[in-house]
Amino acid sequence: MVMLFDSLPVIQYLEIDYYYVKNLAIGGVPKRLPITLNHLIYPVLSGICFRELDEVSFVLCLIKSSPNLAKLIIQACVLEPMVIDDPVLELLYAQEWSDISLNQLRRVHMYNISRTRSELEFIKLLLAKSSMLETMLIEPDW
């Protein structure tokens, strides 16, 4: 995964789907990339399953490594609301976010949200770290 992003240091728009996230996560996901994606302002992540630890780890890694995000779009995979998502919740609670600020993030659009605890904690985290957020559109899966 790291080698891919080493070759894309000036990318501004990045669209990644579920299958690619799964492949990138093989072998583990670092907390932060060794390079900073200063130019990435608009990632689109499709089919992210908020009960899968490796997928949420990838999303957090990408966010931590991209300090100038302006717009973030995440299409979640549809989940049953009663699914227990403890490993993902532990990750979201345990992440060290004191050195992260999403001061450039203005718009977030998340859709297919199933209202699981892990999705709600992720949304809460974005709200806490995005001081300049203007619009957050959350669309449930119903």
Alpha carbon distance 36, 33 (integer Å): 7
**Alpha carbon separation from 88 to 13, 14, 104, 140 (Å, rounded):** 27, 24, 26, 20
User: What pLDDT was estimated at residue 10?
Assistant: 80
User: What pLDDT was estimated at residue 84?
Assistant: 59
Q: What percent of the chain has pLDDT over 70?
A: 86
Q: What percent of the chain has pLDDT over 90?
A: 37
| Global pTM value | 0.86
Task: Report the candidate in 46, 60, 131 with the shortest Cα–Cα distance to residue 89.
Answer: 60
| Banded model confidence at residue 107, pLDDT cuts 50, 70, 90 | very high
* DSSP strands (E only) in the chain: 13-16, 42-48, 71-76, 107-113, 135-140
The residue ranges of every structural domain in the chain are 2-140
The mean-pLDDT minimum among 12-21, 34-43, 63-72, 83-92 falls in 83-92
